[in-house]
Chains A and B, each alone.
Chain A
Amino acid sequence: MATQHSRSAARTMMAPAVFLLLVWMLVPLILTLWFSVMDYRPLRGTFECCEGLGNYIRFASSSSFQDAIVTTLIMVGGILLITVTGGILLALLLDQPIWGQGIVRILVIAPFFVMPTVAALVWKNMFMNPVNGLLAHLWEFFGAEPISWLTQVPLFSIIIIVSWIWLPFATLILLTAIQSLDSEQMEAAEMDGASPIARFFYIVLPHLSRAITVVILIQTIFLLSIFAEIFVTTGGGFGTRTLTYLVYQRVIESQNVGLGSAGGIFAVILANIVAIFLMRMVGKNLDK
C-alpha cells in the first residue's frame, strides 16, 4: 500500500532523475528554439534578435528542403522494406536446425556491432569502389561494365549500406518471435492441408505482425537521424541530402545557426508526426 508518506518519499527520490531528464531534453530544445528566431551567424559575428519566423520561412521555401524531405522518406522507407523482408527471410532460415547454429547466429549479428562510419567506409572502399571494389570485379567477371555505385545510384547505395547495418537487428527480433510460435499450430495447419506458403501467410506472418511493428518503430526512430553513412560516402551530394544532413550543412557549412535551428525544429516536428502514427499502429497491435 502506498501511504501518503511513502508516496511523497517516492516523489522526492525520483525528483533528481526527472529533473536531469528535463534539463537534458529541455535545454537543447529551448536553445534551438531561441536560435531559430535569431539571426545567428558566428563567423560574421552577427547575433541579432528577432528574425521572427524569417528563418523558418527561408528554410522551408528553399527547394532543398522539399528534396530533403522526399530523400529522407525514400531512404527510411527503402531501408525498412529491405530490413523487414530480409529479416523475415533470414529469421526463417536461421530457425531451421543447422550444424553450427550458435556460431552462425553470432556471425549474423556482427554487422550491428560495426560503427556506422567504419561500415560505410568498408562498403565505399571495399565493395563499391568502381575500380578496385569487389562488386566491380564481380561485374567484370560477368563481362559487364562496373557500376560507379556512389555516383550513379547514390541513394540506393546508402540504402544498401544502412540496411546491412540494421538487418541483424530486424533478424534477431523476428527470429525470437518465430521461435515463440507454437509448433502445434504449424502442425495443425499442416493437417488442415495448408501448403508451406499458405502456412507462412496464414500462420507465421500474422504471428510476426507484432514483432514487425516493433522493428519498424525502433528502426524509424534511429533511421531518421542517419548521418555518418552519408557523411563518409557522398557527403550529401547526388541527391542524398536528408533533412538531418541539410540541418548539418546549414549550421556547419553555411555557418548559419539560426537557419539550421529552424530546420532542426522541422525535423523534430517530422519525427513527432512519424512517432504518433507509429505509436497508434503499435498500440493497436499490442492490444490484441
Chain B
Amino acid sequence: MGRITLDKVQKSFGEVEVIPPLDLTIEDGEFVVFVGPSGCGKSTLLRLIAGLEDVSGGHIRIDGKDATLVPPAKRGLAMVFQSYALYPHMSVRKNIAFPLRMAKMDKAERDRRVQEAADILNLTDYIDRRPGQLSGGQRQRVAIGRAIVREPAAFLFDEPLSNLDAALRVGMRLEISELHKRLETTMVYVTHDQVEAMTMADKIVVLRAGIIEQVGSPLDLYHTPKNLFVAGFIGSPKMNLLDGDLAKPHDATTIGVRPEHITPSPTEGTWTGKIGVSEHLGSDTFFHVHMEGRRDPVTIRAAGEVDMHRGDTIYLTPNAERIHRFGADGLRMP
C-alpha cells in the first residue's frame, strides 16, 4: 500500500516561502510525475515527502497514518537520487544490501533479495564491481536496485535520468515504466523534462513557484490545459500563444494553437507569414513562420518532407476545434 496525502503542506526557508499550503493526494499504485521549471519547488516537495526536509506546516499522511514527524527511514519510502548517491567503497552487492543490513535482516534472506533485485535489473554480471567501474546507466540501475530491495510503500525519484545521455534516457524511461507495471507500487517522479512526464505518468502535477497549476492525466493536460502556463509548458514543440488581433475573432485575450493543429499551405489560408528556420526530422518538418507585426515566430508541424523553403510565403489554417482560448486572467475559457 502506498497512498500519500499532503494536507496543507507548507515549507519556508527562513523568510522565503518556497511552498505555500498545498493539498495533493497520490493514490496507491499510481505513477505521479511532478514537473515544472527549475526552482519551482518540485524537488523540495519530494524531499518533504521523503522526510529529508521538515515541513513548516500541514500534515503528510502515508496510508492514512500521520507521517509528518516520522524520520525518513521509518516512512517506508525509498528514494533514487539525481547523483545516484551510491556508496563508492562498497560493491554493487553491498550497495544493494545496505538497507537490509541496516534493518538487521538475516544473511540468507538478504542474499535472496539482493539476487532477486539483481535479476530484475540485469545487474548479475557486475554484482561484485564497485560503482566507479560502472557506466551511468548501470549506476542508475544499482540505485534503483537499492530502492526495490526494501519493498517500500512508494518510490521517490529525484530527476534520476538527468545525468544520462539522450539515448540511454529513452531506454531507462522504458525500464522504469516497466518496473512500475511489474511492481504496481506507487512512484513519485520529479523531472523538468515534460517528455518524461508525458510518457511515464499516470498523473502529472504541474508546479510553478510552489503552487500546483494543474493535476491530471497527460492527455488531460495536453487537451485541456487550465491556464497559459500549463498550455505553454506541456507539449513539444511548445504551443503557439497568440494575442491581439489574432485572438479577437475568438473572443479571447490569448489563443493557443499547437504546432500539430495548424495546416500549412503554399496557396491559401487564414494567416500568412514567411518561413524562417525549418527543422527537418524526417518524419516531420517544423517551420518557424514569421508573421507581419509579431515578434515571436509561430511554429507549425508539417507531416513528412515538404517542399517549402526559407523565405517562402506560407498560409496557415488553424484547426478551429483545437484552438484553446484564454481570458485576460490567463485562465482557460470554456
Contact = CB atoms under 8 A, between A and B. Distances in A.
Contact of B52 (A191, A192, A198, A288): A191
A91 to B, nearest CB: 19
A51 to B, nearest CB: 53
A288 B89 contact: yes
Contact of A185 (B52, B73, B79, B85): B85
Given A193-B102, A194-B102, A202 B87 contact: yes
B78 interface: yes
B222 interface: no
B126 interface: no
B81 interface: yes
Interface string A193-204: 111001000110
A184 interface: yes
Nearest to A186: B85
Contacts of B72: 187, 190-191
Given A184-B81, A184-B83, A202-B98, A191 B89 contact: no
At the interface, is chain A mostly helix, strand, loop or mixed?
A: helix
B188 interface: no
B243 to A, nearest CB: 43
B88 to A, nearest CB: 8
Interface in A163-181: none
Interface in B59-94: 71-74, 77-79, 81-83, 85-89
Contact of B99 (A182, A192, A206, A207): A192
B50 interface: yes
Nearest to B143: A188
Contact of A206 (B86, B89, B146): B89
Given A184-B83, A188-B85, A193 B52 contact: no
A175 B86 CA distance: 22
B54 to A, nearest CB: 13
B81 A187 contact: yes
Interface in B112-143: 132
Contacts of B79: 187-188, 191
B78 A191 contact: yes
Interface residues of A, number: 19
Nearest to A185: B85
B73 A190 contact: yes
B102 A192 contact: yes
Nearest to B146: A192
A192 B83 contact: no
B82 A193 contact: no
Interface string A3-34: 00000000000000000000000000000000
Contacts of B99: 191-193
A95 to B, nearest CB: 18
Nearest to B99: A192
Contacts of B102: 192-195, 198
Interface in A193-250: 193-195, 198, 202-203, 206-207, 209
B281 interface: no
B77 A191 contact: yes
B108 interface: no
A164 to B, nearest CB: 32
Contacts of B167: none
B127 to A, nearest CB: 18
Contacts of A190: 52, 71-73
B89 A187 contact: no
A182 B89 CA distance: 13
A196 to B, nearest CB: 11
A193 B103 contact: yes
A192 B98 CA distance: 7
Nearest to A203: B87
A182 B86 CA distance: 10
Interface of A: 182, 184-185, 187-195, 198, 202-203, 206-207, 209, 288
For the complex of A and B, the 9 pairs showing the least CB-CB separation, nearest first, are A193-B73, A188-B85, A192-B99, A184-B85, A206-B89, A193-B102, A184-B81, A185-B85, A194-B102
11 contacts: A185-B86, A185-B87, A187-B72, A189-B87, A190-B72, A191-B78, A192-B99, A193-B73, A193-B99, A194-B98, A206-B87
